[in-house]
Every structure is written in C-alpha cells, then in structure tokens.
Structure 1
Amino acid sequence: MHSAPSVTYPVGRSRGATRILIATWALGACCAGLSCYLFDSAGWRQLLLVLSVLFSGIAAALGLRSDGAGVLHFDGLHWSLTGTDRGRAVHAAQASVALDLQSLLLVRLSQPGRAARWICIEQRAMPERWRDLRRAVYSRPPSASPAGEPWRATVPADAP
C-alpha cells in the first residue's frame, strides 16, 4: 500500500467556518430568547442565560478576529503548522478530522504534552492540492511492525 503524499497547504480565516459559527450562535441566541419569553419570571436563571449568550458571542468574535494565516505541512509521518500570527507553531503533531463537509475540514492537531490546536481548512485556499490534503489527513501513520508474514518463495523441507 502506498503512503499518503507530503503536502503543504495554506490555512487561515475560513468564510465557511465563520458562517457556521455565526449560524450556531444565532440559533442558540434565538433559543435563549424564546426560553426567556416562555418562562417570563425574570430571575437569576434568565440573567445567567442572557449573559452566557452575550459572553459566548464576544468570545467567538475575538476568536475569529485573532485567527491568522499559516502553512500546514505533512511530511509523511507528522503534521506541522507554521507562520501563524498567534506565534503558536505546531511541530510533530497528529491530525484527526472532526468535521468533514467535503469542501471544509475541521481538523484537530495534537502534540504530546501540549494543548490541541483546531484549524479549519477550506478547499478554495488551494483547490489543486485539496485531494492530496484529504488523502494525507485520512491516511494512517505507517507502523513499525510488518503487516504480516512475508511471502515465502521456497517450499518447507518437511512438505510432502
């Protein structure tokens, strides 16, 4: 079996991920507003619900603002992410796909002993390398042990 190709792919702000995040937040805000309307006793629970919607919106906006461009690279064994404006380069990481929308991937890069890094990768960033990137993301890392017993070209001595 062939291994996945080495790939270098640009990552950065994703319009698709921004739309999904805004739609999810708006749906949550609508549900919170409906809950406050249906249960009209204005108590601490409704205040906590409204504050949580506001704080999650602020956190999402700050996260989208600070999401910078970088370069994702796969060398055949490990993933690395460099050139981000956050200054948090990732080296020798493993990648796992959390969400696959065919033209948008949400990928988790994890390194031993460090916090995981989540990135959104869009097909429109480099369409000519998209299929190579998908093959690399879904490939299994090569194992150190052989897959099975090698085929023998000789007949054992005790064969009839």
Structure 2
Amino acid sequence: MHSAPSVTYPVGRSRGATRILIATWALGAACAGLSCYLFDSAGWRQLLLVLSVLLSGLAAGLGLRSDGAGVLHFDGLGWTLTGAHPGRAVHAARAAVALDIQSLLLVRLTQPGRASRWIWVEQRAMPERWRDLRRAVYSRAPTASPAGEPWRATAPVDAP
C-alpha cells in the first residue's frame, strides 16, 4: 500500500465556513424569536434567550475576524500548521476530518499536551493540490508496530 503524498496547503478565512456559521446562527435566532413570539409573557427567560442569541452572534463574529492565514503541511508522518500567529503554531499533530462537504473540510488538529485546533480548508484556496490534501488527511497515521501477525505460508499443525 502506498502512503499519502506530502502536501502543503494554504488555509485561512473561508467563505463556505462563514456562510455555514451565519446560516446556523440565523436559524437559531429565528427559533429564539419564534419562541419569544409564541410565549407572550415577557420574563427573564425570554431576556436570557435574546441575550444568548446576541452574545453567540458576537462571539461568532469575533471568531471569524481572528482567523488568520496560514500554511498546513503534511510530511508523511505528521501535520504542521504555521501562519500569522507564531505562538499558535502546531507541530507534529494528527489530523481528523470532522465535516466533509467535498469542497470544504473542517479539520481538527490534535497535539499531545495542547488544546485542539480547528481549521477550515477550502478547495478554492489551491484546487490543483486539493486531491493530494484529501488523500493525506484521510490516510492512516503510520505506526511503529506492524498491523498484525505476519502471514504464514503453512497453517499450524495440531498434534493428535
């Protein structure tokens, strides 16, 4: 079996991810508005609901603004993420796909002893390397031990 190719891919702000986030927030805000309309008694619960919708929108907006450009690199053994925030660089990480929409991936980078990093990777950033990136992100991580017992040419003989 062949190993996944080494790949370098640019990451950064993603239009697709922004659209998903805005649509999800708008749907939540619509549900909150509908519940406030249906339950006409204006009380602390409705106020708390409206405040939570506003604060989640503010947090999402701040999160979108802080996404910086970077470079994701796979060397055959691990993933490295470098970019605009040198203190937040990730080295020798493992990658796992959390959401795959064919032209947009949500990838979780984990590193021992550190918090996970979530990044959006978009096909339009570098279409010519997209298939290489997908092969690399879905490849199994290399292991130090063999997968199983070596194949034997003969079956063991039981003594009668």
If the length of structure 2 is used for normalisation, what is the TM-score?
A: 0.91
Q: Which residue of 1 aligns with 2:14?
A: 14
1:149 matched residue in structure 2: 150
Matches within 5 A, 1:33-112: 33-85=33-85, 87-112=87-112
Summarize deviations over 1:81-133 as a string: whole Å, max 9, x none.
Answer: 00133741001111000000000000000111111000000000000000000
Deviates more, 1:137-146 or 1:6-15: 137-146
* Cα distance in 2 for residues equivalent to 1:63 and 1:27: 19
Number of residues paired by the alignment? 154
Question: Could you list the runs of 5+ residues in structure 1 that have no partner in the other structure?
Answer: 155-160
- Give 2:30's aligned residue: 30
CA distance, structure 1, for counterparts of residue 86 and residue 143 of structure 2 = 33
RMSD value over aligned CA atoms? 1.6
CA drift at 1:144? 1.4
How far apart are residue 28 of structure 1 and its match? Answer: 0.2
Identical aligned pairs, as a percentage?
85
Conservation of the 8 A alpha-carbon contact between 1:18 and 1:64? yes
Q: Distance in 2 between matches of 1:15 and 1:27?
A: 18
The structure-2 alpha-carbon separation of the partners of 1:62 and 1:37, relative to structure 1 and needing over 3 Å to count, comes to same
Residue of structure 1 in register with 2:137 after alignment: 137
Secondary structure of the corresponding residue to residue 18 of structure 1 = helix
Q: Is the 8 A contact 1:10 1:70 kept in 2?
A: yes
Q: Amino acid of the residue matched to residue 144 of structure 1?
A: A
TM-score by structure 1 length?
Answer: 0.91
